[in-house]
Amino acid sequence: MCTNIYGGNVIVGKDTKIGDVGLFFPLESQIGEKFAIANDLIRRKDENGKNAGGMFDQNRRVRAQTFRGERSEGFWIPIDSLTKLFPDWDEVLKEGQEIDTLRGEQIATKYFPKTVKSASTNGNKKPKTSRIVPGQFAFHFDTPQLARNVDKIPPGGRFAITWKVHGTSAIAARVLVNRKLNLLERFLRAVGVKIKDTEYDYVYASRKVIKSEAGGNHFYKEDLWTRVGQEQFGGKLATGETVYYEITGYTSDGKFIQQGYDYGSAPGEYKIWVYRITRTTPDGTVTELTFDQLVVRCDQLGVQPVKLAWLGGVYDFVDLTEYDTWRERFVEEVKKHWVHDQDCQFCTNKVPSEGVCVRIDHGLSVEIYKLKNFRFLERETKQLDDGQTDIETEQSELGA
């Protein structure tokens, strides 16, 4: 039997009834070992080698897969499954609460392949001191799932739907940094002379690491992020400007940045796709460019923004008269038009589109939510099964 959880199809037990409360584990999460053992979730065999119970491999990973034609987009288990470890769980949990641990015990975490966990970080040591002035540079915030946050979409708001790009995240910024003072300047400052100790300079980063402070480990044979940042933005950015973008295609030695996703580039070539631009004042005030402003600024810089799928008001997109259900229909419409099994229209070879992002501008701030294509999630699952790791996963875990 199936149900809909956060806009995804989830297989549940035949005895599940409407109104039942349970725990939901999203795709590519890992179920806690003690919890899995207590609920007999790990596959086991009897003395004759036949399956005797359980449904998960030893790694306890929640995978994107299909059972008898039905998609599995997560795992749901009745809430009383907690009783075997925590008899008093109802005293500390509330319906709708998100948890990864309970009373110090791991219930769920993000799944990382062993190849990632054991990879070496040699040469990726951070410097003893950073040049970055606090409040001047920021990595991109994580993008939450649309289906879990659809209640945050204002009915009177305006939003943009853009195609999600499967590349590697990069950042180019021209922000205040600490100057490298010479010996005389350091002496004068020590005796009380006021010395200008900051300056605007370019900073290039991957998703998690400022590359000029990263040491020698860059995931690829080259520091792709600094090279591309200098080629595309060197000498172009205004003071306080930070550009967030994806790099797709190939490295300089002809290897895929993301396996199979060429985005129309020839081997050895790349493209960039800008999805966010901010301005930061010397006192640390950050202003977000709206999507319309981002498009104009990209044209000035000679770079391309992420591709727009739809732009308008919520009232243009769904009927708001049925107020209690419009948000669910909003997700359904996005999936139907742009996420339901689409191929990537920007790639020469046939690969699934990663999905879309829904962007809501709020004056000086922005909210961005993602909705992924199930075929893309299946592809990622198969790659992990084959021991291939995604560069974004590698970066998140290793700080590449």
For residue 339, what are the contacts with CB-CB under 8 A and spacing of at least 6? 353, 355, 356, 371, 372, 373
Q: State whether 242 and 101 are in the same domain.
A: no
For 125: left if phi > 0, alpha if psi spans -120 to 50, otherwise beta; the answer is beta
Q: State whether 232 and 294 are in the same domain.
A: yes
Report the pLDDT value the prediction gives residue 396, as an integer from 0 to 100: 46
Q: Is residue 121 part of a domain?
A: no
In this structure, what CATH number is given to the domain that contains residue 180? 3.30.470.30
Instruction: Look at the chain and report how many structural domains it folds into.
Output: 2
Q: State whether 389 and 261 are in the same domain.
A: yes
- Under 8 Å between Cβ of 95 and 21: yes
Q: State whether 40 and 186 are in the same domain.
A: no
Q: Is residue 63 part of a domain?
A: yes
Report the pLDDT value the prediction gives residue 118, as an integer from 0 to 100: 40
Beta bridge partners of 286: 280
- What's the domain range around 106? 2-111
pTM over 0.95: no
Q: State whether 269 and 152 are in the same domain.
A: yes
Cβ neighbours around 302 below 10 Å, total? 9
Q: Is residue 250 part of a domain?
A: yes
Q: Is residue 360 part of a domain?
A: yes
Q: Which helix (H) or strand (E) holds 378?
A: helix 374-385
Q: State whether 66 and 200 are in the same domain.
A: no
d(CA 232, CA 302): 8
Q: State whether 285 and 346 are in the same domain.
A: yes
Q: Which of 343, 228, 368 is nearest to 291 (CA)?
A: 368
Q: Is residue 226 part of a domain?
A: yes
Q: State whether 187 and 282 are in the same domain.
A: yes
Q: Is residue 133 part of a domain?
A: no
Q: State whether 245 and 327 are in the same domain.
A: yes
Q: State whether 237 and 355 are in the same domain.
A: yes
Beta bridge partners of 65: 72
Q: State whether 364 and 233 are in the same domain.
A: yes
Biggest CA–CA distance in the chain, Å, is 83
* Average pLDDT along the chain, 400 residues, taken 10 residues at a time: 84 88 90 93 85 86 84 90 89 87 90 56 53 93 89 84 96 94 79 84 93 68 92 97 98 94 96 98 95 97 96 81 75 88 93 95 90 91 71 47
Grouping H, G, I as helix, E, B as strand and the rest as coil, residue 161 is strand
Q: Is residue 389 part of a domain?
A: yes
Q: Which of 111, 137, 168 is the last residue of a domain?
A: 111
